[in-house]
Amino acid sequence: MNYGKEFEKYATKHHGINSMYYDKIVSSMTPYIIEERQLNVASMDVFSRLMMDRIIFLGTGIDDYVANIIQAQLLFLESVDASKDISIYINSRGGGVYAGLGIYDTMQFIKTHPAVILAGWHDDVEYFMAQADLFIHPSYREGFPNVVLQAGAMECGVLVSRIPGNVDIVDDQENGFVFAVQDAEDLYQKLNQALREPQRMKALGQQLRKKIEANFDRRYVQDQLRQKYEALLAASGKSNT
C-alpha cells in the first residue's frame, strides 16, 4: 500500500482537508529518503515512510489545520488496522487549546489497545517521563537543556541532536543516541534502532542516570559555580564577601 497516496485521498475526500494545505504540510516533512528493498529501490518523503510504520510526527505549532491533519492520520491508521499501535512523536511549541483538544478527543475515540496511554494534564514532568519509553530532543540549538537531564534522571531512553548542551550530557551509544542536526534520515535510523532494542535503551537510560548523578547533581553544580566565582574574584583581587 502507498500510504502517502492513500492517506492523501482519505484526508481530502473523506475529511474535507484542503489539498493545498495538505501539500504544504507534507512538503514540510521533506527531504525524501531512499530505501533499498529486496526487488527495488524506493524514494519517498519522510511523512509517508513514517506512516508505513504507523508513526505520526507532529513538528509544528498546533492550529485547526494541523489538528485536522493529525486527526485524519489517526483515523486513517485506525481504519487500516485497528489492532495495531499508533505512535505519535511530538516536537511542538503548543498552540490552540481547542485544536489540541480535538486531537485528544480523536485519541480517545480510537483507543483500542492497552499500550495507548492518555495522560491528560499534569503539572509535574516526572509523570510523563515515567510513562515514556523514549525521549527525543531534536533541537537545532540550546543553552543547557534541563529537559534532557530530567529524562535521564527518570532513566528514559534518550535520543538527542548533536548540538552543544545535548552532547555534554549524552554520549552516543554509551548512555543514549545522538543524531545529526536537521538530518531526518539519521533520526529515522536511530529511532528505528531504539524501537528494535528496548532492553538496550533501558540499560542506556540507567547509565545516563548514573552520569547525571555524578556530574549534574544540583549541589555539585552549585559548588562548582561557587568555586569558579571565588577563583575569578581572587584573581581580580576583589573580596568574595
**Region 17-30 average pLDDT:** 62
Whole-angstrom distance, CA of residue 228 vs CA of residue 233:
9
The 10 Å Cβ neighbour count of residue 212 is 20
Q: What are the boundaries of each domain within the chain? A: 1-118, 125-241
Phi and psi (nearest 5°) for 148?
Answer: -70, -40
Separation of alpha carbons 187 and 180, rounded Å: 7
Least confident of 141-145, 161-165, 177-181: 141-145
At 221, list the grid cell. 553544580
Architecture of domain 125-241: 3-Layer(aba) Sandwich (3.40)
Given a cut of 90, whether residue 122 has pLDDT beyond it is: no
Please state, in angstroms and rounded to a whole number, the distance separating the CA atoms of residues 143 and 82: 42
Is pLDDT larger for residue 114 or for residue 17? 17
Question: Which is nearest to 106 in space by CA: 116, 96, 92?
Answer: 116
Q: What is the largest CA-CA distance in the chain?
A: 75
Q: What pTM does this model have?
A: 0.51
**Predicted confidence band at 159 (pLDDT cuts at 50, 70, 90)?**
very high
Residue 142 has pLDDT above 70, yes or no: yes
More confident residue, 50 or 31: 50
pLDDT of residue 115: 58
pLDDT per residue over 196-227, tens digit each? Answer: 999 999 999 999 999 999 888 888 878 888 99
Contact 74, 86 (CB under 8 A): yes
Q: Is the pLDDT of residue 229 over 70?
A: yes
Q: What is the pLDDT of residue 54?
A: 86
- Residue 2 has a pLDDT of 61
pLDDT digits 0-9 by tens, 176-192: 999 999 888 999 999 99
pLDDT in tens, 48-101: 778 888 888 887 888 888 888 888 888 888 888 877 888 888 878 788 888 888
Within a 13 Å sphere around the CA of 106, how many CA atoms are in the beta-carbon half? 21
| 175 has a pLDDT exceeding 90 | yes
